[in-house]
Structure 1
Amino acid sequence: MAATPRVTVLTLDQRRSRAGDDAVPGLLADLADLGDRLLRPFQRTAGDEAQAVTDDRDTAVEVVARALRSGRWNLGIGVGAVRTPLPAETRAGSGDAFVAAREAVTRAKSDLHRLAVVARPERPEAVELETVLGLWAAVVERRTERGWEVHDLLASGLSYGEAGERLGISQSAVSQRARAAGLVDERRARVLASVLWGRLLS
């Protein structure tokens, strides 16, 4: 069998799974809308872990965004070739990207921000992407509920003034909350992550 172009394998492993409920069913439901953007959809692979395959950098970035917001997952990102044809079952896949994802999720468990990026063969962009994702995670980890409230309103397409009307606060207050929530920093990190991911997949 031949190797495909480079893809991303995303492995999400539940943190502190023995101390809480099984979060995998909820994760699969939350990510179900990404199904048509994935080569293989998220599927439970073993125990408290789920995995998917994509060749689309922006889809991968969106998965990271949702994982960071949840705060419940160790995120292992593997980039490389896979064996084709891909099997119907995500967990049955093989190849460099799957090996890299396994290494990444293992390393993520001891990472400050619980994420890691591994490319096979090694590429400098993997280190750069992991660095950007770590900075993005640091922004998200500090965000309060009020910050997320503003984030969601602005992400829905509302202006600062409209968000202020919805929240019953001034436009200036919305701006202050957005600044405290690091919305601009997150947007920049997301754009840069997409660029680096694209290079990794090329």
Structure 2
Amino acid sequence: MWTMTVDQEGSRRVGDRVEHVLDSLAHDSPLTVAGPRDVVLPFERTVGDEVQAVIADADLVVALALFLIRMGGWTVGIGTGTVDRPLPASSRAGSGTAFIHAREAVEAAKSRQRAVPLAVRGPDPALAAEAEGVLAIIGSVVARRSAAGWAAIDLMSGPEQRRQADIAGLLGISQQAVSARLRAAMWAEEVAARPAAARLLRLAAGLSDDGRSNDDEGATG
């Protein structure tokens, strides 16, 4: 499992946006297509302008981290380690090293030296750093993407599985222009890199490449 601790940036300047991000996570994020066992404890406000969740799928962790980076204004900490059993009803009451590492990660992500406000911490610092590095590279692409690029990607990546010719018609541009937007947005590169980030998160959590764990025995990643 992975604990995600997400803290708002500049809340004194822009006001509390926790309810907004919780609504976006519930209705517009990768959580809307998550499997029934992918979310162990859902996102909720923990303290102040911070939200937290426990996720059981590394690919979903990657997708959620990039979703939050795209939103902007949020610092993302991802922690791996153990989650104490029995699980509480709320992540606010959770304990274990995954929660501790998520706290360390979100604090590290606040460094002004980071281009992307994201960090990963876990029991194996080297593997956590590798996962963070790949996620940060993908995140930097996401953070710099133009509105035109997102318009094409949102249509391309939707559940309808549209072709570029269909997207061109919807956007009122040529198919060549759609291809140019997707290239400039580095969409293919992001799709290719996401599995590597998820694999490194699994390894950092002490799991095998296929994601199998001993969660049912109480020791989790």
**TM-score, L = length of structure 1:** 0.92
- Contact 1:161–1:171 (CA under 8 A) maintained in structure 2: yes
Worse overlay, 107-116 or 33-42 = 33-42
Indicate the residue corresponding to 1:127 in structure 2. Answer: 129
Distance 1:200 1:32 in 2: 27
Question: Following the alignment from structure 1 to structure 2, what is the Cα–Cα distance between the partners of residues 150 and 161?
Answer: 11
Partner of 2:5: 11
Separation in 1 of the partners of 2:115 and 2:147? 22
* Residue pair 1:117, 1:130 contacting (<8 A) in 2 also: yes
Structure 2 unmatched runs, 5+: 208-221
- 3-state SS of the aligned residue for 1:94? coil
Question: Equivalent residue for 2:163?
Answer: 159
Total equivalences in the alignment: 195
Q: Which amino acid aligns with 1:180?
A: A
Distance 2:143 2:63 in 1: 17
Deviations 1:179-200 (A, max 9, x none): 1111012112212112212222
Separation in 1 of the partners of 2:78 and 2:203?
Answer: 15
Corresponding position of 1:43: 44
Write the distance in 1 (CA, Å) between the matches of 2:136 and 2:4: 16
1:179 equivalenced with 2:183 (yes/no)? yes
Alpha-carbon separation, structure 1, partners of 2:22 and 2:70 = 15
TM-score, length basis structure 2: 0.84
Aligned partner of residue 54 in structure 2, secondary structure: strand
Gapped runs of 5+ residues in structure 1?
Answer: 1-6
Identity %: 44
1:28 has 2:22 as partner? yes
Distance 1:39 1:142 in 2: 31
Partner residue in 1 for 2:118: 115
Measure how far apart 1:32 and its partner are: 2.3
Displaced runs of 4 or more, over 4 A: none
What displacement does 1:123 show? Answer: 4.3
Counterpart in the other structure of 1:148: 150
For residues 103-143 of structure 1, the C-alpha deviation after alignment (integer angstroms, 9 at most, x for no partner) is: 00000001321010000x22422111100111011111211
The RMSD of aligned alpha carbons is 1.4
Supply the AA of the counterpart residue of 2:130: E
Asked whether the 8 Å contact 1:135–1:189 carries over to 2, the reply is no
